[in-house]
């Protein structure tokens, strides 16, 4: 698919903060088709007309929009490439970036972009909404306005305060690669169970500086615009069938697997599973262990049901979300790493996505 973007300038005020708004689609910019009742994407100009409050913000806002805004269920690495490119190409011109995105896959995209943008030292804030911007009880306005405000925040009036990929939703800013969508109808749609919030909006906009990523400003931004799609996610469940697992593991070209195990990284000790994983590792396929619990960490070896997985060389996803693990896998697969280096990088904290103990 060819993706075209158009740039339009909106409001100009005197304050030096320049923000680039990247509109990809999602509920935030949709309206109800009164004939069918379905939500359809709205043109970006119409979206901004619904938020005249933006004129009061002390910053210049420019916008880029996908020519055809998408429901985020259609998000894919080609679009991630476009987003990463736009940020890279406009990096020196803008103080911060806000990405408007459907909530369904927002945690995947925020995680992917965090890996694709190495040495990021400006805010990239993902946001969206549960209700369209024109709805009476919409959450879209608050999410949009506060995300832009967060992107303009400065430390000592000079440097950007937030220097990482964040996700703002329902009064809370989280680290993007720590989030998961946990609710399909509540305004509080996201959670970050293994890492505290970065900021909270109430009467005051409170930033928890101690939780922000510390970055080395002297390093230039490097945008990695490709990821490898030869990956799969497998979720364990009692009664999982050997031939089904073997079929997944025989996918041609497969380079990596994220297995969602139980609890602290446990799986059935039936010998066939251990044998399949062992064969995969021997074939050079990277096999990652993440927990299917929303919070907590994989600790291989804590129980007998994970000791063997550790012994045969399965990679620990530690306390990473599945979204972070699969996108980190897709990102690291584009680097030429030996099996041992791959394991070392995967198990190390590279963008604040896991807790090193």
The values of phi and psi at residue 302, to 5°, are -70, -35
Q: From the CB of residue 270, how many other CB atoms can be counted at a distance below 10 Å?
A: 10
CB of 36 to ligand ASP, least distance (A): 16
27 binds ligand ASP (CB under 6 A): yes
CB of 295 to ligand ASP, least distance (A): 23
**Which residues are marked as active site?**
27
72 binds ligand ASP (CB under 6 A): yes
128 binds ligand ASP (CB under 6 A): yes
Q: How far apart are CA 259 and CA 233, in angstroms?
A: 6
Q: How far apart are CA 208 and CA 192, in angstroms?
A: 15
Site for ligand ASP in 265-324 (CB under 6 A): none
Greatest alpha-carbon span in the chain: 68
- Helices of type H across the chain: 44-49, 77-89, 106-116, 140-152, 242-249, 271-282, 304-311, 322-332, 339-346
CB of 129 to ligand ASP, least distance (A): 6
CB of 189 to ligand ASP, least distance (A): 7
CA torsion angle 61 64 68 72 (round to 10): -80
Which of 3, 31, 71, 145: binder of ligand ASP (CB under 6 A)? 71
26 binds ligand ASP (CB under 6 A): yes
Q: Among the candidate windows 6-14, 54-62, 96-104, 209-217, which touches ligand ASP by CB under 6 A? A: 96-104
Beta bridge partners of 257: 232, 287
Q: From the CB of residue 249, how many other CB atoms can be counted at a distance below 10 Å?
A: 18
104 binds ligand ASP (CB under 6 A): yes
CB of 28 to ligand ASP, least distance (A): 6
Q: Which residue has the tokens 């969206």?
A: 128
102 binds ligand ASP (CB under 6 A): yes
353 binds ligand ASP (CB under 6 A): no
Phi-psi region of 170 (alpha: psi -120 to 50; beta: other; left: phi over 0): left
228 binds ligand ASP (CB under 6 A): no
Contacts to ligand ASP by CB under 6 A: 25-27, 71-73, 102-104, 128, 130
């Amino acid at each position: 698919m060819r993706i075209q973007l158009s740039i339009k300038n909106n409001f100009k005020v005197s304050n030096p903060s320049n923000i680039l708004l990247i509109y990809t689609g999602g509920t935030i910019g949709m309206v109800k088709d009164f004939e069918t009742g379905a939500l359809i994407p709205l043109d970006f100009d119409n979206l901004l007309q619904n938020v005249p409050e933006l004129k009061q913000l002390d910053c210049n806002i420019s916008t880029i929009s996908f020519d055809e805004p998408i429901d985020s269920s259609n998000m894919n690495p080609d679009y991630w490439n476009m987003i990463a490119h736009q940020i890279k190409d406009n990096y020196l011109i803008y103080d911060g970036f806000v990405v408007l995105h459907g909530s369904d896959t927002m945690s995947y995209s925020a995680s992917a972009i965090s890996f694709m943008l190495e040495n990021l030292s400006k805010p990239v804030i993902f946001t969206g909404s549960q209700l369209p911007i024109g709805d009476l009880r919409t959450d879209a306005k608050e999410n949009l306005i506060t995300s832009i405000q967060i992107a303009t925040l400065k430390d000592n009036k000079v440097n950007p305060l937030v220097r990482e990929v964040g996700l703002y939703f329902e009064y809370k800013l989280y680290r993007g690669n720590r989030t998961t969508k946990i609710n399909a109808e509540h305004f509080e749609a996201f959670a970050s169970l293994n890492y505290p919030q970065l900021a909270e909006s109430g009467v005051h906009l409170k930033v928890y500086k101690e939780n922000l990523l510390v970055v080395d400003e002297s390093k230039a931004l490097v945008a990695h615009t490709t990821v490898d799609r030869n990956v799969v996610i497998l979720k364990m469940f009692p009664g999982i069938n050997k031939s089904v697992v073997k079929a997944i593991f025989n996918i041609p070209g497969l380079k990596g697997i994220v297995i969602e195990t139980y609890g602290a990284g446990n799986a059935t000790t039936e010998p066939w599973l251990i044998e399949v994983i062992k064969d995969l590792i021997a074939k050079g396929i990277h096999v990652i262990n993440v927990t299917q619990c929303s919070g907590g960490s994989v600790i291989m070896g804590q129980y007998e049901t994970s000791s063997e997985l550790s012994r045969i060389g399965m990679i620990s996803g530690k306390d990473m979300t599945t979204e972070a693990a699969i996108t980190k896998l897709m990102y690291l697969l584009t680097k030429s790493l030996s099996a041992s280096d791959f394991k070392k990088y995967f198990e190390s904290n590279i963008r604040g996505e896991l807790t090193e103990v």
